[in-house]
Amino acid sequence: MDRSASDAIFAGSIPELYDSYLVPLIFASYAADLAQRVVALNPARVLETAAGTGVVTRAMAQALPGHVELVATDLNQPMLDRAMAVGTPRPVQWQAADAARLPFEDASFDLVVCQFGAMFFPDKARAFAEARRVLRPGGALLFNVWDRIEENEFADTVTTVLAGLFPADPPRFMARTPHGYFERETIARDLAAAGFDSAPRIETLAARSRAESARVPAMAYCQGTLLRNEIEARSGANLEQATAACATAIAERFGAGPVDGKIQAHVVCAQN
């Protein structure tokens, strides 16, 4: 399995830890923002790709009028299982699906939404082309991606600490994948290659990531993301030792009590 494929497989205990730690830490505020943008576009039928454990799905289900149909998909069934177990305030059609091979008819949705999923697509232009295929004329693709890792303080701190723990082979998952697709020109080029004729609207949105202690972001990143697999594959420090080292570094940088760090993302809208 190549690295681009392995960087998209969320299984085992990761979905639960991801939902418990990472969602409130960095995803919830952007989910609320994305849901309000969805409402403003007034769609009748919405497809979500890379829905993960359902943070945006829940936000949209809460914010959208009851007549709007919601279909939420993800490549990883364990993530959907977690999303379904948490539940939504109204019915949602859940379905396992690859964003690059969507099992839906042409021109069948008004809006395709994706929160922090595009970075994981091995072929971004192909996934964007699939989104465009299922969009009705005048529909839109709305998604967000993380900005460079240096603009996301907890993720950057964790990556730096792990590079010191494993100097011969630093775990680079966070920089490589979640924070590896931030160049505006690249995003615009991939959307153009997918057939979107108009230049996308790209807005950079900073927010704050808050937790009750430094241990929370350390757990979130080291054990609730695929960074965990890279740590466990290396010798020199085990998963708990690596998590503890990251917690110590976060406490040294942000304080021993509640911690507060910057996060930053791009929000992209491409019209069909």
pLDDT digits (tens, 9 = 90+) for 45-103: 999 999 999 999 999 999 999 999 999 999 999 989 999 999 999 999 999 999 999 99
Q: 189 versus 14: which is more confidently predicted? A: 189
Q: What is the pLDDT of residue 260?
A: 97
> Residue 238 has which token pair?
């085990």
Contact 185, 194 (CB under 8 A): no
Q: What is the pLDDT of residue 4?
A: 45
Residue 262's region, left for phi above 0, alpha for psi from -120 to 50, else beta, is beta
As a whole number of angstroms, the distance between CA 147 and CA 229 comes to 23
pLDDT digits (tens, 9 = 90+) for 12-47: 556 788 788 888 999 999 999 999 999 999 999 999
As a whole number of angstroms, the distance between CA 170 and CA 159 comes to 8
Residues spanned by the domain of 24: 3-271
Find the CATH number of the domain harbouring 95.
3.40.50.150
As a whole number of angstroms, the distance between CA 100 and CA 109 comes to 16
Please give the tally of structural domains in the chain.
Answer: 1
Percent of the chain with pLDDT over 70: 95
As a whole number of angstroms, the distance between CA 48 and CA 96 comes to 11
